[in-house]
A and B are shown apart, each in its own frame.
Chain A
Amino acid sequence: MVKIIKKEVLTPQIKLMVIDAPRVARHAKAGQFVIVRINEEGERIPLTIADFDSEKGTVSIIFQEVGKSTIQLGELNEGDHITDFVGPLGKEIEEKNFGHVVCVGGGVGIAPIYPKAKVLKKLGNRITSIIGARSSDLLFWEDRMQSVSDALYVTTDDGSYGEKGFVTSVLDRVIQKEKIDLVIAVGPLMMMKMVSLLTKKYELPTLVSLNPIMVDGTGMCGCCRVTVGKECKFTCVDGPVFDGHSVDYDELLARQRNYLEEEKRAVENWLMKKAEEGVHHAK
């Protein structure tokens, strides 16, 4: 059982929660994640550690409401409890001075890119950040990203804020202009795939953080398996960060769609249940 000590609505669909979890905070590193189970009936969902404070014993998570579990999580408030909060899981990113690092965050991927940029900045790297979203109301943490970046670019697909277009077009421009030592990209799979295709052309080392469906998060089930190079890897223990040029994105895209029907049913079923309860309360 952990307690939500702060909740912030970043955009209508993206929420931040600060969780009181001293044990997780103590060993947390950039790149790692937690598994969250809201209640006894809940599923185990992975969420990146977006920030942490080892002294205060807190861990921040940021999530986009895409299905039953994340919508339900979003309805919890400060003071409420979450049944399970396990972590820190997965491997941390290599912490060293690479030189010039470009951090690309797409959508809710801004949350996991932030701690990476933060720690790499501390280690003396020059950080160029490119963050993007479909539209302005899905953007958040521009200020935070600014605080850990030497240069920051913002894009929206629809041009409602920042530059109109995709993060990849900005990245392409930066590549033309400057010497880059490492690219880190986190966001929707499609975005990570496009970034990797681009940087492959220039032979730029690229790391991506994968988000397959998971169950245990400790290497016990193999649900999170991905093909990297020619090898089968378990994202939860071997990753979630991998060499972007070696990932089989198409396979992973298909695997993420494994439970589409069930996910839809879960939301519908739950909304119906809530509506019924609402009627009850009204009586």
Chain B
Amino acid sequence: MPNNRLNGRPKMPQRTVQERIRDFDEVPLGLEKWAAIEEAKRCLQCKKPSCMKGCPVEIDIPGFIGLLAQGKIDEAVMKIKEKNSLPAICGRVCPQEEQCESLCVLGKKGQPIAVGYLERFLADYEREQGIDLQKMPTQNGKKVAIIGSGPAGLTCAGDCAKMGHKVTIFEALHSAGGVLIYGIPEFRLPKAIVAQEVDYVKSLGVELELSVVVGKTLTFDDLLQDGFKAFFIGTGAGLPHFMNLPGENLNGIYSANEFLTRSNLMKAFRFPEYDTPTKVGRRVSVIGGGNVAMDSARTALRLGAEEVCLVYRRTKKEMPARIEEIERAEEEGINCIILTNPVRFVGNENKWVTGIECIQMELGEPDESGRRRPIPVPGSEFVIPADTVVVAIGQGPNPLLLETLPELKLNKRGYIEANEVTGATSIPGVYAGGDIVTGAATVISAMGAGKKAARAIDDYLKNKS
């Protein structure tokens, strides 16, 4: 048996750096069956499983792991799918180390159960073996409109359909999945997997209408007239923030959303076979320290950049990206320039970016978020040469739909105010969840919100008739 364990916990086999930075194929390879079963056997099957408290969609973790340990793979998959219709995605992109795994009792003394790896294994196994789980629910004809096909919308749609409602998802883009399809790169979440999870939701009877921008193509009034009785808004936090620094509109400066959308949704990495181009110079700087920044940096590398660095104003400890992703980025040769903040962009006579003028930072007192506030060191300006810059400093709520619904109550930051338990908004029958309520968060919290809203929508529709 190969030695790929760490205190009992299996290590995820992954492709070598040399191999993986040349293409967009997935980096981690997944556990083999024997390794997954071995790991499942390590679970203590706790009576009061603390791990479950860390899962926003309340998967019966000991339940599915117990079945896997007995080799009952089909049943284990079904156990997960009771609560989570997108396990192949969560098994890959959930920050497990902060959620379910961080609360596993085994983690106190040794290594927690690799819940995420096991979830991924089961979902992949199901897909590869083609286990047939579908039972088409009977529909009672109540029409529910879901706006946005990100993880929040897909989950809410799937659950509403399972409760017998007639669900239609309206999506502005030409592909379903939200950030899963346009943001997170292929090498971290293969698009074929997203497509299959979307197909699964469709197989539950959910209709999917692409290229429909609600608020423009169809208004809320149109949907009411079409007989929709309840609504779920899951439009995400898709508005890219810029830094509002001089020179930010120079050629060669992208928002992370644009950079990633060109590559993922539009498949610019296969230009000219696909029509959408993208441009990556020799030296790429990515500004930010979250998942979005890591994805942009690693994408730039795969698109042929010679040197890629991350510019972050605090230290590595404060970076919001998943540890696993920071490690992989560094392994691939991405250089983190910390305690550094841009003050302006420098360009040439053709208005192409040539560098970022930065200032050094030091950490001061903690701010509202509890992280130490970075403060500039006077006189420490220097220039980082760059011919491509990706600004990955965060996103806000896209106002496009919200502007058409003035009666919908928003909070100070422009996100929808929704009840934490039900997702109910200030308009009866209209529910909301995911990034459009919380601000940029995680796939699984968006799914959790979609799930809760589905329950509330079901109650609402029952009481209504």
Contacts and interface: CB of A to CB of B under 8 A. Distances in A.
Interface in B189-245: 210-213, 216-219, 222, 238-240, 242, 244
Interface residues of B, number: 44
A97 interface: no
A254 B174 contact: no
A95 B398 CA distance: 26
Contacts of A222: 240, 242, 254-255, 257-258
A215 interface: yes
Interface in A216-238: 216, 218-223, 225-227, 232, 237
16 contacts: A26-B222, A37-B174, A41-B267, A44-B276, A89-B213, A218-B398, A219-B399, A220-B238, A222-B255, A226-B249, A232-B244, A251-B351, A257-B251, A259-B277, A266-B272, A270-B272
Contacts of A257: 251
Contacts of A220: 182, 238-240, 257, 261, 398
B163 interface: no
State the majority secondary structure of interface residues on A: mixed
A68 B399 CA distance: 33
Given A27-B216, A87-B216, A219 B275 contact: no
A58 interface: no
A265 B279 CA distance: 13
A166 interface: no
A269 interface: yes
B400 interface: yes
Contacts of A251: 249, 351
Given A216-B172, A222-B240, A223-B254, 15 more contacts: A23-B212, A23-B218, A26-B222, A27-B219, A44-B266, A219-B238, A219-B398, A220-B238, A220-B261, A220-B398, A222-B258, A251-B249, A254-B350, A258-B251, A258-B279
Contacts of B275: 41-43, 68-69, 266
Contacts of B267: 41
Contacts of A43: 266, 274-276
A42 B212 CA distance: 18
A225 B257 CA distance: 13
Interface stretch (A78-86, A104-112, A151-159, A170-178): A78-86
A234 to B, nearest CB: 9
B382 interface: no
Contacts of A216: 172-173, 261
Contact of A219 (B239, B250, B271, B273): B239
Contacts of A221: 240, 255, 257-258, 261
B257 A24 contact: no
Given A86-B213, A220-B240, A266-B277, A232 B249 contact: yes
A59 B39 CA distance: 59
Contacts of A87: 213, 216-217
A269 B272 contact: yes
Interface in B255-269: 255, 257-258, 261-262, 266-267
A28 to B, nearest CB: 10
B216 A89 contact: yes
B248 interface: yes
Contacts of B351: 250-251, 254-255
Contacts of A270: 272
Interface in A197-247: 215-216, 218-223, 225-227, 232, 237
Contacts of B238: 218-220
A181 interface: no
Contacts of B212: 23, 86
A262 B249 contact: no
A6 B367 CA distance: 62
B309 to A, nearest CB: 22
